[in-house]
Structure 1
Amino acid sequence: MTTKLSLANLREIARTASVPAYERGSLAAGIVHFGVGNFHRAHQAVYLDDLFNLGLDHDWAIIGAGVLPSDAAMRDKLAGQDFLTTVVEQDNNRSGARVTGAMIGYLAPGNATATIAQLSDPAIRIVSLTITEGGYFIDPASGVFDPTHPAIAADAANPGDPKTVFGLILAGLKARREKGIPPYTVMSCDNIPGNGEVTHAAVSGLARLSDPALADWIDANVAFPNGMVDRITPATGPREIGIAADDYGIDDAWPVFCEEFKQWVLEDHFPQGRPALEKAGVQFVPDVAPYEHMKIRILNGGHAAIAYPAALLDIHFVHEAMEDADIRAFLAKLERDEIIPVIPPVPDTDLNDYYALIERRFSNPKIADTIPRLAQDGSNRQPKFILPSTADRLSRGEDVVGLSLVSALWCHYLAGTTDSGKDIAFNDPNIDRIRAAATAARDEPLAFLDMKDIFGAVGTSELFRQRFADALRSLQQKGTRATLQRYLEGRLAN
């Protein structure tokens, strides 16, 4: 028998899961968050829930905000359970469920007027985002904001009825400026190097298209702190909904499953104040860049590295990929030989120990993270997670055999079938264009590197082009496993 997740049923649910120690009625909104997906509910919302459970900062609750039509389904599910979420944390040796109550409302997508009104409320002092790496309207190769994107151009032409996240944020800032209300801090929680700077470029860049004076005011007055976030959080499906019901007796329309580990490193730049997140485990530092480089290149880069060989070998779960001796050894060699050596030092951190932690986290069978999740959106993830390491090594005159193999594996995956002949289902906003380039690479490997918006200057390097072509031909002629073994034996570059 299951119990429907709701405020009224928390006493019953407390028999099998931790529930908020605070009264939900004591909370008041201080944050509007765009992008209420699984990661946000397993990360930022959990830190705030921990803080509220300490009896602190109850005026910093979250109002969710939808932008895309698909956000309506999440809003409806959460509204039907009083915006509560079941979070199931799963370590190798322990599992446990908790109910979080840090969210107290959710603005429906498509209602710009209501969203701007909420953003204009003086009580809102932080606007945060988890909109994925591809949601920032930046050129993949250069990382520079693209003011010509059709969605940005549309918001610039009609700033009073914005459709994008940045158009809504800008409209809220404009309304506050006109009313004499201090601006909120804009805080990105996405896996992008310099995510605060990237967000600043998007908001200010959009403003400059229609109101340069407003852009100048934003540059002078609005804070965009950089941050590094980390917690492996798979997608929710029938399996997760079933476990929440069967193991914990909770009828949750969209529970979140995640690993026990979590990390959040932030620059302390919040002019209008912030919750005391350090009391919930957030690390505040003067410069988050070293932590970003470490996490994005070792963890996210590691995910990107194993995604395509695992997919090509018909492996579905990440922990199963780590059980494959060739994939595990490939990842370890790539990280230790090519990625870790070009990462700047991180305060009080041994990068080899950090990689050992990542290896253990990837191997956690309880998480059931999937290879299809890691393989999606490669046109946005490769330029952010893999190619920066490639560029750094090339600039130092160092070889890129393993990193070139990662790019070749992505290209070979885009050909459309696994090594056993099964069709591959793709999830990438640029799939038609990148598949066309991958198809052309069957006859001319270097055709794939002509996508300058993805590969940039890396694609023009003669060494990279040679290594990529050799790796792709090996994949085409010998297959994925044999190519991994050639790399491990030091024969791929011969």
Structure 2
Amino acid sequence: MKTSIALNQENLGLMPSNVQTPSYDRNKVTTSIVHIGVGNFHRSHEAYYTNELMERYGIMDCGICGIGLLDYDRRIYNILKDQDGLYTLVIKNLDGTRSAKIIGSLVEYIFAPENPIAVIEKMANPDIKIISLTITEGGYNLNEATGEFNFSNPVIVEDMKNPMSPKTVFGYLAQALKLRKERGIAGCTIQSCDNIQGNGDVAKKALLNYVAKAEPELQSWIEKNVSFPNAMVDRITPVTVADDIKNLQDEFLVDDQWPVVCEPFIQWVIEDNFANGRPEWEKVGAQFVKNVVPFENMKLRLLNAGHSVLGMLGALHGYKTIDEAARDEDFSIFLKAFMDEEVTPILGDLGDINLEQYKQSLIKRFQNVYIKDIIPRICLESSAKIPIFLLPTIKGQLQGDAKIARAAFVVAAWCKYNDGVDENGNSYEIVDAMSNELIRAAALSHQTPIRFLEIEAIFGKLVSDKTFVDAFLTSLEMLRSKKVKDCVKEMNSKLASK
């Protein structure tokens, strides 16, 4: 039996022929991108595109310096340090075949809690053209209902008291941009890669809100010298599990402590608004457009909302992975009808996009049995996801035909989900920044069902809309008296006959 090979720069030449390795000289790569939040998605997406640019075109001035801001990031930092920044991207195809590619675009990494000054200096370095972010939907510190920056957040309070030892992305960005201003260094681009409507606009608003109080003299300089392009990002990238590591060792003889698995599909649509130059990502498949909104709406309200639909229904039923829920005929019929009848009519003009083809492809992607995207990952931090992925569809429909039965049912399923137990009596943890409030509201909804909708930070004024409230209450009553599968079957039959 052959022994697997530890992944590092020295061993690249020893890798088997069925593993793609960087053909470029990584010693010649110069860093022009700082990325905050080096998780699986960044490594399957932006770092992949950048690797392809180096690999196919020999463009070597777009290396990435990863930044770990949180204590939680220590493990990935240590692993990437051991592996010289290298990791394996395993693409799992629908037919069950796998391909393995070692990605070399991540050439530096700084663990911020150990050396905050090094992070600030790196971001202020004139070679850095782009600071990109994957900090999750909740990382922008904006109240979902009011849109206002949360200055009461303890870590924000701490950053304002100790600006040179920041804990948050905003603290770091403020100090780095302040240095660029003081040293006469050109501005840069803040590139959000998170699943948020208008993610660039959100990043800009959050940063300028913070700076207005923390470093007010910096505000006008940022407005003139820093750009925040909106972008739509797409690639299903589940968490890495032990089997992924073992399968990589067995099939490809690569010993990688934290590989990334993903689907073959990838998309990145970006507004071409860069303050200080950018890599030619369009050479390797990224799309640069003037207006990213139609692409955002399509992806957030179909793919991301679709994930939430399958996640909530699947969690209640007791499924463990998204592909199980997507391959359940009743759930897939429900999801397709939700996309066709509730989402599609309010998406607006999508130009030459073949929407029907896109929706069909989504169902197939969700059903990929080899991806095994776990339902707890999809359901975590839903208080940040539901207002972005699902509520815009409800609000849009309420202004028109008011076809909201399925969306309201998913909100009711979310309420029931926060009881913390599936229909088989198995308990699960509610992982959410608002977990205390969600669990309490769900408990109170057993006596007063409307209480769940009274979480203003999530639902805003929707609790005063009779059409939505009635649909929610009807669905919650169904879910509390029947199995979720029976409810879905009933809804599929009832709504199909209308």
In the superposition, the TM-score normalised over structure 1's length comes to: 0.97
Residue in structure 2 matched with residue 75 of structure 1 by the alignment: 77
Residue in structure 2 matched with residue 451 of structure 1 by the alignment: 455
Residue in structure 1 matched with residue 21 of structure 2 by the alignment: 19
Residue in structure 1 matched with residue 63 of structure 2 by the alignment: 61
- Which letter does structure 2 place at the counterpart of 1:92? L
The change in CA–CA distance for 1:493 and 1:171 in structure 2 (over 3 A counts) is farther
Counterpart among 100, 111, 115 of residue 97 in structure 1: 100
Structure 1 residue 118 corresponds to structure 2 residue 107: no
Please list every run of 5 or more consecutive structure 1 residues that lacks an aligned counterpart in the other structure: none
* Runs of 4+ residues over 6 Å off in structure 1: 491-494
Q: In structure 2, how many angstroms separate the alpha carbons of the residues matched to 1:53 and 1:386?
A: 39
Structure 1 residue 106 corresponds to structure 2 residue 132: no
CA-based RMSD of the aligned residues comes to: 1.5
Residue in structure 1 matched with residue 355 of structure 2 by the alignment: 351
Q: In structure 1, how many angstroms separate the alpha carbons of the residues matched to 2:327 and 2:215?
A: 55
User: What secondary structure sits across from 1:54 in the alignment?
Assistant: helix
CA distances 1:395-425 after superposition (whole Å, capped 9, x unpaired): 2251311110010000111112111111122
Q: In structure 1, how many angstroms separate the alpha carbons of the residues matched to 2:484 and 2:153?
A: 37
Q: CA deviation at 1:318?
A: 1.2
The change in CA–CA distance for 1:299 and 1:69 in structure 2 (over 3 A counts) is same
Of stretches 147-156 and 385-394 in structure 1, the one that deviates more from structure 2 is 147-156
Residue in structure 2 matched with residue 36 of structure 1 by the alignment: 38
**Contact in 2 for aligned 1:474/1:483 (Cα 8 Å):** yes
**Contact in 2 for aligned 1:18/1:99 (Cα 8 Å):** yes
**Contact in 2 for aligned 1:437/1:447 (Cα 8 Å):** yes
Structure 1 residue 48 corresponds to structure 2 residue 50: yes
**Contact in 2 for aligned 1:458/1:464 (Cα 8 Å):** yes
**Contact in 2 for aligned 1:401/1:493 (Cα 8 Å):** no
The change in CA–CA distance for 1:491 and 1:362 in structure 2 (over 3 A counts) is closer
Q: Aligned runs of 1:231-246 on 2, under 5 Å?
A: 231-246=235-250
Structure 1 residue 170 corresponds to structure 2 residue 161: no
Q: CA deviation at 1:243?
A: 1.1
**Contact in 2 for aligned 1:156/1:207 (Cα 8 Å):** no
- Which letter does structure 1 place at the counterpart of 2:456? K
**Contact in 2 for aligned 1:387/1:458 (Cα 8 Å):** no
Q: In structure 2, how many angstroms separate the alpha carbons of the residues matched to 1:390 and 1:458?
A: 9
**Contact in 1 for aligned 2:66/2:109 (Cα 8 Å):** yes
Determine what percentage of the aligned residue pairs are the same residue.
37
**Contact in 2 for aligned 1:245/1:251 (Cα 8 Å):** yes
- Which letter does structure 2 place at the counterpart of 1:65? I
Q: In structure 1, how many angstroms separate the alpha carbons of the residues matched to 2:195 and 2:307?
A: 13
Residue in structure 2 matched with residue 487 of structure 1 by the alignment: 491
CA distances 1:295-325 after superposition (whole Å, capped 9, x unpaired): 0000000000111111111111211111211
Of stretches 223-232 and 139-148 in structure 1, the one that deviates more from structure 2 is 139-148
**Contact in 1 for aligned 2:16/2:253 (Cα 8 Å):** no
In the superposition, the TM-score normalised over structure 2's length comes to: 0.97
Q: CA deviation at 1:91?
A: 1.1
Q: In structure 1, how many angstroms separate the alpha carbons of the residues matched to 2:415 and 2:70?
A: 30
**Contact in 2 for aligned 1:241/1:254 (Cα 8 Å):** yes
The change in CA–CA distance for 1:344 and 1:145 in structure 2 (over 3 A counts) is farther
Of stretches 11-20 and 115-124 in structure 1, the one that deviates more from structure 2 is 11-20
Q: In structure 2, how many angstroms separate the alpha carbons of the residues matched to 1:310 and 1:233?
A: 19
User: What secondary structure sits across from 1:490 in the alignment?
Assistant: helix
Q: In structure 2, how many angstroms separate the alpha carbons of the residues matched to 1:179 and 1:105?
A: 24
Q: CA deviation at 1:246?
A: 1.1
Residue in structure 2 matched with residue 195 of structure 1 by the alignment: 199
Q: In structure 1, how many angstroms separate the alpha carbons of the residues matched to 2:88 and 2:71?
A: 24
Q: Aligned runs of 1:150-169 on 2, under 5 Å?
A: 150-169=154-173
Structure 1 residue 87 corresponds to structure 2 residue 89: yes
**Contact in 2 for aligned 1:7/1:81 (Cα 8 Å):** yes
**Contact in 1 for aligned 2:33/2:64 (Cα 8 Å):** yes
Counterpart among 313, 316, 330 of residue 317 in structure 2: 313
**Contact in 2 for aligned 1:486/1:492 (Cα 8 Å):** no
Residue in structure 1 matched with residue 302 of structure 2 by the alignment: 298
Q: In structure 2, how many angstroms separate the alpha carbons of the residues matched to 1:264 and 1:418?
A: 36
Q: In structure 2, how many angstroms separate the alpha carbons of the residues matched to 1:398 and 1:441?
A: 24
Q: In structure 2, how many angstroms separate the alpha carbons of the residues matched to 1:270 and 1:253?
A: 35
Q: In structure 2, how many angstroms separate the alpha carbons of the residues matched to 1:274 and 1:472?
A: 49
Residue in structure 2 matched with residue 230 of structure 1 by the alignment: 234
Q: In structure 1, how many angstroms separate the alpha carbons of the residues matched to 2:171 and 2:418?
A: 34
CA distances 1:376-408 after superposition (whole Å, capped 9, x unpaired): 111111111111111111122513111100100
Q: CA deviation at 1:491?
A: 6.5
Q: In structure 2, how many angstroms separate the alpha carbons of the residues matched to 1:331 and 1:374?
A: 16
Q: CA deviation at 1:493?
A: 12
**Contact in 2 for aligned 1:194/1:289 (Cα 8 Å):** yes
Q: In structure 2, how many angstroms separate the alpha carbons of the residues matched to 1:422 and 1:167?
A: 41
Q: In structure 2, how many angstroms separate the alpha carbons of the residues matched to 1:169 and 1:33?
A: 12
**Contact in 2 for aligned 1:20/1:99 (Cα 8 Å):** yes
Q: CA deviation at 1:489?
A: 1.5
User: What secondary structure sits across from 2:227 in the alignment?
Assistant: coil
Q: In structure 2, how many angstroms separate the alpha carbons of the residues matched to 1:344 and 1:56?
A: 40
- Which letter does structure 2 place at the counterpart of 1:86? T
The change in CA–CA distance for 1:442 and 1:491 in structure 2 (over 3 A counts) is farther
Residue in structure 2 matched with residue 329 of structure 1 by the alignment: 333
CA distances 1:267-288 after superposition (whole Å, capped 9, x unpaired): 1111211111110111000011
Q: CA deviation at 1:139?
A: 1.1
Q: CA deviation at 1:167?
A: 1.0
Residue in structure 1 matched with residue 255 of structure 2 by the alignment: 251
Residue in structure 1 matched with residue 410 of structure 2 by the alignment: 406
Q: CA deviation at 1:14?
A: 4.2
- Which letter does structure 2 place at the counterpart of 1:369? D
- Which letter does structure 2 place at the counterpart of 1:26? K
User: What secondary structure sits across from 1:365 in the alignment?
Assistant: coil
Q: In structure 1, how many angstroms separate the alpha carbons of the residues matched to 2:178 and 2:494?
A: 58
Counterpart among 128, 140, 145 of residue 136 in structure 1: 140
Of stretches 238-247 and 344-353 in structure 1, the one that deviates more from structure 2 is 344-353
Q: CA deviation at 1:185?
A: 0.7
Please list every run of 5 or more consecutive structure 2 residues that lacks an aligned counterpart in the other structure: none
- Which letter does structure 2 place at the counterpart of 1:95? R
- Which letter does structure 2 place at the counterpart of 1:115? V
